Chain A
């Protein structure tokens, strides 16, 4: 145990002297979170600039105007149609609504009135939000003016006990990403040691190999826990994101996730001769995982043909488990399935790594 303790001490001493390692372990996830957090922090309170050309100065058109102004995500800018269309073209407005002249008269005669909406179809997301909302407003006004009774009402109730914002989903994702990096890139240490014959030097002493490797693993698990604490603290103090779940469960997930990616890393580099040769292997594994695992983009938007990949990569399950435990998000998979898949990856890759790892 003396040797194990000394190895661990040496690992940490090397770590604090290695600026690159310090940066990628602590500063990088934080920078990532700060950048993404601030860029997307506006996503939840977006507002759209709507131009309104009211060509009919009547009580009816006033009613429609007021109805539109009540929509919280709409900023209504009254003006002329031509000026409004110009602003729509250069992007100052997201849509222009026209109330044609003679609306009141038409209503009086019982005729259908056409209210036109001009929009820029290239702005897909805003169009997808604006058009249905406008439709709803028009429907509501219709019902009110024609005096039809309302039969069905729809009350929206979220099943989440608290509202989830983008940053709430981001924090578990950042944690999952950090653990992915820690595990995969951590494997490079052994490759470097093999390349520089440090492994051979250890092999020239009575130190058992399993003790050397396990000290490396324990060292990385401790780093993973430190990362977790820092990420949760920043999330709480900067973004007001609370960790709502069970701390013990979170601890288990962090350890399991770290073990999984450490063993995937060791398996991936088991035959690489140099650090330069191992790096691309790690990156090939890491990139698809980052983008297809749903830690930054919701799983629902993944196209169908990607589903098999999405549902096999372990980061999908770690991200899902973290979201469930940390912010109580809606599960994509049952938690036990998340844990089971991660454990399976861990065991299989560890056995392969033990079998295939080249010591010199």
Chain B
């Protein structure tokens, strides 16, 4: 083993569909015990990348090594050691929670006791419920349970909380946090900034099939922002040139009525905004004015000029 701590090694991965290049030369490594996140908007190439790593799709070019095995050559061997959660639940509908776990457990050389999984994912109460009668959150927890059934060395979770209500999302977050605390390697894709910030040790921000930034959430924010953000809504929005001329203003992003100004000197910039509003007699149009720390969302905005969920 050349480097025992690297469990996923992706080098120059490319995947094309007809005239679209879904994945455009992606390279990165994931270390053992790490919670690694791929963050990006829908269609950025996250799912394609993760499914190639899992051995579900073939790459057009590039080398992928998972647990020191070549995925393209020995996909079945890799699948014994990894756990996969697909974006869609994709479950049989007329079997119970317990039955489907027993069934999927039988596909692996080693599998966790069904009891443990039910406990871990708070599915004990619904063990005898048919899959089709489960709520969205329960289905999602079940599909995470199925991804953990073989005690995988790496668990791949593809947008595990998409479409869930806030409560169900939080309960799934605590499951993932537990896995992380137990030192498991988790590979997560998401288009929720706060999810990536909260759950991941390291994040790769992807857009149009390319990694545009990689690092821990803190590193990324510190690398791109020494400033904090002032955010407000104003109609009509002042021209960008005027806003940029305000003292302390480093950068300005306007989308619709919403303005985000990144400032090195919050009090100075703030008072300039208020003065401008008074002078032009639009104080009652100024809404939702607040100051906040920069987030991954801001990093994405700065790198692409777009919001992640547009």
Binding site for B on A (CB under 8 A): 2-3, 5-7, 9-10, 13-14, 17-18, 196-198, 200-201, 203-208
Whether the pair A205, B104 counts as a contact (CB closer than 8 A) is: yes
Whether the pair A13, B107 counts as a contact (CB closer than 8 A) is: no
Q: Please tell me if B80 contacts chain A, counting CB pairs below 8 Å.
A: yes
Whether the pair B86, A201 counts as a contact (CB closer than 8 A) is: yes
Question: Could you tell me the distance in whole angstroms from the C-beta of A294 to the nearest C-beta in chain B?
Answer: 37
Question: Could you tell me the distance in whole angstroms from the C-beta of B182 to the nearest C-beta in chain A?
Answer: 22
Question: Could you tell me the distance in whole angstroms from the C-beta of A21 to the nearest C-beta in chain B?
Answer: 9
Q: Which residue of A lies closest to B82 (CB)?
A: A204
Cross-interface CB contact of B95 among A13, A196, A206, cutoff 8 Å: A13
| Distance in angstroms between the alpha carbons of A161 and B309 in the assembled complex | 80
Cross-interface CB contact of A6 among B77, B106, B130, cutoff 8 Å: B106
Residues of B within 8 A of A2 (CB): 106
Whether the pair B99, A197 counts as a contact (CB closer than 8 A) is: no
Whether the pair A3, B106 counts as a contact (CB closer than 8 A) is: yes
The 8 closest A-B pairs by CB, nearest first: A197-B90, A201-B90, A204-B84, A14-B94, A6-B106, A205-B107, A207-B107, A206-B79
Cross-interface CB contact of A201 among B80, B91, B99, B108, cutoff 8 Å: B91
| 21 sampled A-B residue pairs with Cβ under 8 A | A3-B107, A10-B92, A10-B100, A14-B92, A14-B93, A14-B95, A17-B94, A196-B93, A198-B90, A198-B92, A200-B56, A200-B86, A201-B86, A204-B56, A205-B79, A205-B84, A205-B104, A205-B107, A206-B80, A206-B109, A208-B76
Cross-interface CB contact of B88 among A9, A13, A197, A206, cutoff 8 Å: A197
| Distance in angstroms between the alpha carbons of A17 and B131 in the assembled complex | 12
Binding site for A on B (CB under 8 A): 54, 56, 76-77, 79-80, 84, 86, 88, 90-95, 99-100, 102-104, 106-109, 130, 146
Whether the pair B108, A13 counts as a contact (CB closer than 8 A) is: no
| Distance in angstroms between the alpha carbons of A15 and B85 in the assembled complex | 26
Residues of A within 8 A of B93 (CB): 14, 196
Question: Could you tell me the distance in whole angstroms from the C-beta of A205 to the nearest C-beta in chain B?
Answer: 4
Whether the pair A18, B56 counts as a contact (CB closer than 8 A) is: no
| Distance in angstroms between the alpha carbons of A204 and B93 in the assembled complex | 18
Whether the pair A204, B79 counts as a contact (CB closer than 8 A) is: yes
| Distance in angstroms between the alpha carbons of A204 and B107 in the assembled complex | 10
Q: Which of B88, B94, B107 has the most CB of A within 10 A?
A: B107
Whether the pair A10, B107 counts as a contact (CB closer than 8 A) is: no
Q: Which residue of A lies closest to B57 (CB)?
A: A360
Residues of B within 8 A of A9 (CB): 103
| Distance in angstroms between the alpha carbons of A305 and B146 in the assembled complex | 57
Residues of B within 8 A of A205 (CB): 79, 84, 104, 107-108
Residues of A within 8 A of B56 (CB): 200, 203-204
Residues of A within 8 A of B94 (CB): 13-14, 17-18
| Distance in angstroms between the alpha carbons of A201 and B95 in the assembled complex | 15
Cross-interface CB contact of A206 among B86, B92, B99, B108, cutoff 8 Å: B108
Whether the pair A10, B88 counts as a contact (CB closer than 8 A) is: no
| Distance in angstroms between the alpha carbons of A10 and B95 in the assembled complex | 7
Q: Which of A10, A197, A205, A207 has the most CB of B within 10 A?
A: A205
Say whether chain A's binding surface is mostly helix, strand, loop, or mixed: helix
| Distance in angstroms between the alpha carbons of A9 and B95 in the assembled complex | 10
Whether the pair A10, B99 counts as a contact (CB closer than 8 A) is: yes
| Distance in angstroms between the alpha carbons of A178 and B84 in the assembled complex | 39
| Distance in angstroms between the alpha carbons of A167 and B17 in the assembled complex | 59
Residues of B within 8 A of A204 (CB): 54, 56, 79, 84, 86
Q: Which residue of A lies closest to B108 (CB)?
A: A206
| Distance in angstroms between the alpha carbons of A100 and B90 in the assembled complex | 84
| Distance in angstroms between the alpha carbons of A202 and B95 in the assembled complex | 15
| Distance in angstroms between the alpha carbons of A14 and B109 in the assembled complex | 25
Question: Could you tell me the distance in whole angstroms from the C-beta of B64 to the nearest C-beta in chain A?
Answer: 16
Question: Could you tell me the distance in whole angstroms from the C-beta of A214 to the nearest C-beta in chain B?
Answer: 15
Whether the pair A198, B91 counts as a contact (CB closer than 8 A) is: yes
Question: Could you tell me the distance in whole angstroms from the C-beta of A44 to the nearest C-beta in chain B?
Answer: 45
Residues of A within 8 A of B106 (CB): 2-3, 5-6
Q: Which residue of A lies closest to B85 (CB)?
A: A204
Question: Could you tell me the distance in whole angstroms from the C-beta of B79 to the nearest C-beta in chain A?
Answer: 5
Residues of A within 8 A of B109 (CB): 206
Q: Which residue of A lies closest to B147 (CB)?
A: A204
Residues of B within 8 A of A198 (CB): 90-92
Whether the pair A7, B103 counts as a contact (CB closer than 8 A) is: yes
| Distance in angstroms between the alpha carbons of A2 and B111 in the assembled complex | 13
Q: Which residue of A lies closest to B105 (CB)?
A: A6
Question: Could you tell me the distance in whole angstroms from the C-beta of A130 to the nearest C-beta in chain B?
Answer: 57
Question: Could you tell me the distance in whole angstroms from the C-beta of A155 to the nearest C-beta in chain B?
Answer: 62
Cross-interface CB contact of B99 among A3, A5, A13, cutoff 8 Å: A13
User: Taking A205-B107, A205-B108 as contacts, is the C-beta distance between A6 and B86 under 8 angstroms?
Assistant: no
Q: Which residue of A lies closest to B80 (CB)?
A: A206
Residues of A within 8 A of B79 (CB): 204-206
| Distance in angstroms between the alpha carbons of A10 and B131 in the assembled complex | 13
Q: Which residue of B lies closest to A198 (CB)?
A: B90
| Distance in angstroms between the alpha carbons of A2 and B109 in the assembled complex | 10
Q: Which residue of B lies closest to A16 (CB)?
A: B94
User: Taking A14-B92, A200-B86, A204-B54 as contacts, is the C-beta distance between A6 and B103 under 8 angstroms?
Assistant: yes
Cross-interface CB contact of A196 among B90, B103, B104, cutoff 8 Å: B90
| Distance in angstroms between the alpha carbons of A66 and B79 in the assembled complex | 89
Whether the pair B90, A200 counts as a contact (CB closer than 8 A) is: yes
Question: Could you tell me the distance in whole angstroms from the C-beta of A8 to the nearest C-beta in chain B?
Answer: 10
Residues of B within 8 A of A13 (CB): 94-95, 99
Question: Could you tell me the distance in whole angstroms from the C-beta of B103 to the nearest C-beta in chain A?
Answer: 5
| Distance in angstroms between the alpha carbons of A5 and B107 in the assembled complex | 11
Residues of A within 8 A of B95 (CB): 10, 13-14
Residues of B within 8 A of A14 (CB): 92-95
Residues of B within 8 A of A196 (CB): 88, 90, 93
Whether the pair A10, B103 counts as a contact (CB closer than 8 A) is: yes
Question: Could you tell me the distance in whole angstroms from the C-beta of B19 to the nearest C-beta in chain A?
Answer: 21
| Distance in angstroms between the alpha carbons of A206 and B95 in the assembled complex | 21
User: Taking A13-B95, A14-B95 as contacts, is the C-beta distance between A206 and B107 under 8 angstroms?
Assistant: yes
Question: Could you tell me the distance in whole angstroms from the C-beta of A218 to the nearest C-beta in chain B?
Answer: 16
Known: A2-B106, A205-B107. 9 other contacts (CB 8 A): A197-B88, A198-B90, A200-B86, A203-B56, A204-B56, A205-B84, A206-B76, A206-B79, A206-B108
